[in-house]
Amino acid sequence: MKTLSRLCRWWAAVGFALGLGVGAAAAQEATPPPTPPPDCAECHLNVVAAWQTSTHAQAYHDADFQTAWQTQKSDPQCLACHTTGFVVRTGTYDQPGVTCAACHGQTPANHPPEAVAVDPGVRVCADCHPTTFSEWETSLHGAQQLACTTCHTPHDQKLRFETSNALCLNCHAEARTDYAHVSHPNQMCIECHWHRSVDETTHVMTGMLLPTGHDSMVETRTCVECHANLPENAAVVGAESAEPHPLLAARVRISELEAAVQTVEAQSENQAATQLITGLIVGALVMGLGVGGISRLWQRSRR
């Protein structure tokens, strides 16, 4: 009986000790680790919601990019702009897509209250958009140092106005009465000033950085590519009778002027050749007469 009692007390002691150990271990596991910087989504719900459907957020997950990346993977440098925290040496990255840290840098350990860096300039965009940055530098917008965020909202990458025309007219409110603007009343400003003629998927498939039109210049190709798609025999809008499309008339007139120029050039060349030959003949005659006169005078002087 005493032996059984001692055995029970021993098992109780062992159980108590094990209970203390398990309890201590459980208490240790329940101790929270050092608090990391808070996730952006915890406080900036609206910002993250706007970003999630943006071009930046989809930069890595985009179907066209994934197709090209999975089939080629020829240039790991693509990940420098399609991911965040890409390391060339290892080929690794922190997060897919262009996340907060790509533009704002690492979140300070004591944020908040310490603020996260915000760069409203264009340099933060230039690393991944060098072509656009170069175009912007040569534009009047660049001359006035109008940063990207002047026209684009940074988190969803949309325009600051509902339409592109509303955005342009916010600054360019004066009425334009020149022929180019009056004759294109139904065109959007960006159709001429931000003309893009190349399929944007070309960049995904080739890696080429294509022009984006941010120099805001209207080039000849803008007019040619648009008017080349218009039917040449279309009637003039508002005309009482059907007339050939102005483009056809312009082409005919251009051909006539080119033919006239070629005729004038040919006549000028013929006239120049004729004048040259005449000049050579006259010069030879004058030289001959001069030599003959000098010879006669020399012979007389010897007599």
pLDDT in tens, 114-150: 888 877 778 889 989 988 999 999 999 999 999 999 9
Q: Which residues does residue 152 pair with via DSSP β-bridges, in sequence order?
A: 159
Token match 């120099």: residue?
Answer: 215
What pLDDT score was predicted for residue 158?
92
Which pLDDT belongs to residue 249? Answer: 61
Asked if 98 and 56 count as a contact pair (C-beta separation under 8 A), the reply is: yes
Q: State the first-to-last Cα distance of the chain, in angstroms, to the nearest integer.
A: 178
Number of structural domains, the chain? 1
CB 101 within 8 A of CB 118: no
Listed in order, strand segments (DSSP E) in 135-236 are none
Q: Tokens standing for 25? A: 């271990």
Long-range contacts: 94-97, Cβ < 8 Å, 24+?
96/59, 96/60, 96/61, 97/56, 97/57, 97/58, 97/59, 97/60, 97/61
Residue 96 lies in a domain: yes
Which residue ranges in the chain fall short of pLDDT 50? 1-37, 233-242
pTM of the entire structure?
0.58
Q: Which two tokens stand for residue 186?
A: 């139904």
- Angstrom distance (rounded) from CA 197 to CA 222: 8
Report yes or no: 68 and 204 within 8 Å, Cβ to Cβ.
yes
Token pair, residue 162, equals 């509902």
88 in any annotated domain: yes
Residues 6+ apart with CB under 8 A from 160: 150, 151, 152, 153, 167
Residue 101 lies in a domain: yes
Domain span including residue 86: 41-106
pLDDT for the residue 195: 75
Q: Is residue 58 part of a domain?
A: yes
274 domain residue, yes or no? no
In a domain, 131, yes or no: no
50: in domain: yes
**pLDDT score of 250:** 63
Is 198 a domain residue? no
Q: How far apart are CA 294 and CA 182, in angstroms?
A: 75
**Measured in whole angstroms, how far is the alpha carbon of residue 65 from the centre of its chain?**
17
- Contacts of residue 47, defined as CB under 8 A and 6 or more positions apart, other chains included, come to 40, 155
For residue 29, what pLDDT is reported? 39
Half-sphere exposure of 234 (CA within 13 A, CB side): 11
Residues 225, 197 contacting (CB under 8 angstroms):
yes
Q: Tell me: the pLDDT tens digits for 144-193?
A: 999 999 999 999 999 999 999 999 999 998 888 888 888 888 888 888 88
